[in-house]
Amino acid sequence: NELEGVLAHELGHIASYDMRYMTLVAVMVGMIAIISQIFLRSLWFRGGGSDRSKGIFILIGIILAILAPIVVYMVQMSISRKREFVADASAVKFTRYPGGLIRALKKIKEDHTPPEKKVSKAVAPLFISNPFGAMGRTHPPLEKRIQVLERM
């Protein structure tokens, strides 16, 4: 049954403490972003040294302040995608029947309605393109999930 598969998938998230795990990951991402900002801002008030060496440190700080949050965000999304596979495996373990979840995922895959058409017109403009593409997704591609489930 599809509903059973979907509910078991969500129970898999609960059983594997995904909310706690992803909250910790989000806190770590936030801490890295804050530390990079502190480092960047402290460079402006750093005393001593030549202007040239100060300029190099500022350049390095700017690069780190920009790249560090992006890199940790991509790591966070990668972890999130992996947790989806764990929840899928848990669903199969709970139901002992991967077919229900496979059918549910195939239905989602076949629905070609753009997400912004499924919500109120007031929030539709919030659905913008993801600049990171697949790396910025919280869920792995449906095809990949279905392939893994079919092998179970």
| DSSP conformational letter for 127 | -
10 is catalytic: yes
DSSP H helices, the chain, are: 2-15, 18-44, 51-95, 98-110, 142-150
Q: How many CB atoms lie within 10 A of CB 47?
A: 5
Among 10, 110, 116, 143, the one annotated catalytic: 10
CA distances from 118 to 44, 110, 111 (A): 47, 15, 11
| DSSP conformational letter for 63 | H
Give me the active site residues, please.
10
